[in-house]
Amino acid sequence: MLKLWGRLTSNRTQKVLWTLAEIGLDFELIPASAQMGPGGHVAKGNTPFGVVDTPEYRAMNPNGRIPTIDDDGYVLWESNAICRYLVMRYAPEQLYGNDVRTFASATRWQDFENNELLPPQHDLVMELVRLPPQQRSPEKLAAARTAFNKRLQIVEEQLGRTRYMVGERFTFGDIPIGIRVHRWVLLEQHRPALPNIERWYAEIVQRPAFQRYTADPANHVEG
């Protein structure tokens, strides 16, 4: 059985979890993190799950980060690489139509999420949820909110042209963007009107694989 080291509150781990749920692949989740534990973020004095600093884990993933998988002896780290591996091995037709251009387009949105949406949203989560109130910065919060909303306009424009992030069918390229938008919806009560994203979001949240690991607000707004 495939093993996955990570945590439910990690968006990087959630990308892998959602992908696994779409595929329907059995796996074992092993809680691991340097920043979060059963009680929440270490910034609030909580004890992390750990594991990532052990010699055994570092032998698999020298970065000491999550997620990491072991699929019958094949070890892989970096969330987007893991997702690409999983869909190529287990669900090429289901999650990208077994088409190289669709695959490439989906990976583009993975990279966009990682490079453009993740950094400002990480700051949003820290300023709104995870840092103790006395450590929060209104200036950092405003800057993160502005940066995230600006980048989200690119998603809005894309979804004005296509039903999903890559054409007219759901692909693994919808997964990382879907996680970021879901967390944004949960965190921000006052959001700019983005009708294309709203239409798309209303559709993807109905997917059973989304409901299984991503939907729960506790995996996004507690820490």
Going by the DSSP 8-state scheme, the letter that residue 127 receives in this structure is I
- Cis, bond preceding 67 (omega within 30 deg of 0): yes
Q: Which of 56, 78, 94 is the last residue of a domain?
A: 94
22 in Cβ contact with 91 (< 8 Å): yes
Token pair belonging to 211: 């409901």
108 and 59 inside one domain: no
162 and 123 inside one domain: yes
Within-domain flag for 213: no
- pLDDT bin (cut points 50, 70, 90) of residue 35 is confident
138 and 203 inside one domain: yes
> With helix as H, strand as E and coil as C, how does 16-35 read?
HHHHHHHHCCCEEEEECECC
118 and 195 inside one domain: yes
Residue 48's domain comprises 2-94
49 and 75 inside one domain: yes
Q: Is the dihedral of CA 111, 74, 208, 185 positive or negative?
A: negative
123 and 42 inside one domain: no
pLDDT at 220: 84
Report which residue type is found at 158.
Q
Within-domain flag for 223: no
pLDDT at 223: 56
Q: Which of 41, 69, 94 is the last residue of a domain?
A: 94
Report which residue type is found at 74.
Y
89 and 106 inside one domain: no
Per residue in 79-95, pLDDT (tens digit) is: 999 999 999 999 999 99
85 and 121 inside one domain: no
66 and 102 inside one domain: no
- CA neighbor of 76 nearest in space, from 19, 116, 22, 16: 16
> With helix as H, strand as E and coil as C, how does 168-210 read?
CCCCCCHHHHHHHHHHHHHHCCCCCCCHHHHHHHHHHCCCHHH
CATH code of the domain covering residue 153: 1.20.1050.10
Per residue in 2-25, pLDDT (tens digit) is: 999 999 999 999 999 999 999 999
117 in Cβ contact with 187 (< 8 Å): no
Within-domain flag for 219: no
83 and 177 inside one domain: no
Specify the 3-state DSSP secondary structure of 69: strand
Q: Per-residue pLDDT for 194 more than 90?
A: yes
- pLDDT bin (cut points 50, 70, 90) of residue 200 is very high
Q: In a 10 Å sphere around its CB, with 0-12 CB exposed, 13-18 middle and 19+ buried, how is residue 38 labelled?
A: exposed
CATH code of the domain covering residue 22: 3.40.30.10
Per residue in 120-167, pLDDT (tens digit) is: 999 999 999 888 899 999 999 999 999 999 999 999 999 999 999 999
Q: In a 10 Å sphere around its CB, with 0-12 CB exposed, 13-18 middle and 19+ buried, how is residue 47 labelled?
A: exposed
108 and 169 inside one domain: yes
State in Å, rounded, how far the first CA of the chain is from the last one.
Answer: 30
Structural domains of the chain, count? 2
* Mean pLDDT, the chain, whole residue set: 95
105 and 203 inside one domain: yes
Per residue in 165-190, pLDDT (tens digit) is: 999 999 999 999 999 999 999 999 88
